[in-house]
Amino acid sequence: MIDLQNTFSDFESRKIIILGDVMVDTYLNGSVTRISPEAPVPVVKFKSRESRLGGAANVALNIKALGAEPIICSVIGTDEEGDQFLKILKENNLSDKGIFRSKNHTTTVKTRVIGNNQQLLRIDQEEVKPIHTDLAKYLITLVKELATTHKADAIIFEDYNKGVLVPELIHEVIRFANEKKIITTVDPKKENFFEYKNVTLFKPNLKELKEGTNMDFSARDKDAFLRSVEELNKKLNPKHTFVTMSEHGVYINDASENHFIPAHYRVIADVSGAGDTVISVATLCLASGLSPKLTAEIANLAGGLVCEKVGVVSVDKEQLMNEALNLL
């Protein structure tokens, strides 16, 4: 019998590197009582503005909320938005030792307009282009140094297709991690989907799995689903494939076993950031020695919990542990 309380306590000894695209998530909050006479759109009466850490930095917030030590490795611009990112990083007591500022990079900002606790519109301020070779080499060296110095338990690749995770960086960090027996987990996007070979855990959502394998099927068609997973495994050879399927729950494999885990009933307010929470929890569970099946069950609970809240938020460790103790 697994002692989940000890497992959650064990998170506090873990050090996790998060490598990938960071951004600022800004929220314009207000109320809606009428439709504009100028166009068929709601009029939002502004109440407040709030900016939070997003992308790989939100994964770091989740890792920190779970009690572990996160180390972000990424690139931001020398722009005002980059200044804002570092300010929010400091406010959240997160280190900037793995952050590089480049005049050739634009700091991504996602602005969400929220009316009556519902997202009405998102505005993306960004310039997407791959980082140059010299910067990729610098990041490779930086990740290796930080992983060695801090005795990292895992490296999370958080790919938002914003340009930080280029193939040469991905390949060399995976090679290094496997050599040092460091867990590697991946939250992929389409652009680099098949660059992540031989990782510990590969976590696409259902849409990404179908796009990546070029197969279309219903989540209820388990045979077709498993054929798609088999195709992915042939190309990438991950130790575990972990697929999130929204209301259909999650899937994970363990050697030759397939585990389909149903979703728990939730009142969904916002799915933003749920994937960040799932990869964070899954990584810490694996680092703490949990089985793939139990890892998926706890990560599934965590993803559902954050969907009950508006905006990109971190998981509540106590709430997650209590729910896991009650349901698993």
Tokens at 266, concatenated: 């939730």
Tokens at 269, concatenated: 């307010």
Distance (Å, whole) CA 285 – CA 131:
32
Question: Annotated catalytic, 21?
Answer: no
Distance (Å, whole) CA 283 – CA 285:
5
Long-range contacts of 207-212 (CB under 8 A, 24+ apart): 209/243, 212/188
What domains sit in the chain, N to C, each tagged with a CATH number? Answer: 4-29+44-327 (3.40.1190.20)
Distance (Å, whole) CA 302 – CA 320:
6
Look up residue 78 and give its DSSP letter: S
Which entry of 10, 25, 187, 276 is annotated as an active-site residue? 276
Which residue's entry shows tokens 């850490």?
53
pLDDT of 270 above 50: no
Distance (Å, whole) CA 75 – CA 92:
18
- Report CA Rg, the chain: 20
CB count in 10 Å sphere of residue 210: 17
- pLDDT tens digits, residue range 33-67? 999 999 999 999 999 999 999 999 999 999 999 99
pLDDT of 272 above 80: no
Contact 206, 219 (CB under 8 A): yes
**Counting every residue, how long is the chain?**
328
Q: Give kind and range of the element (H or E) at residue 23.
A: strand 22-35
pLDDT of 269 above 60: no
* Residue 244: strand pairing partners: 205, 250
Q: Are strands 69-77 and 15-20 parallel, antiparallel or unpaired?
A: parallel
pLDDT of 273 above 70: no
- pLDDT number for residue 220: 87
- pLDDT number for residue 323: 80
Query: How confident is the model over 73-78, as a mean pLDDT?
Result: 97
Three-state secondary structure call for residue 299: helix
Three-state secondary structure call for residue 94: coil
Sequence-ordered list of residues with C-beta below 8 angstroms from that of 231, at least 6 positions apart, any chain: 213, 215
- pLDDT tens digits, residue range 148-179? 999 999 999 999 999 999 999 999 999 999 99
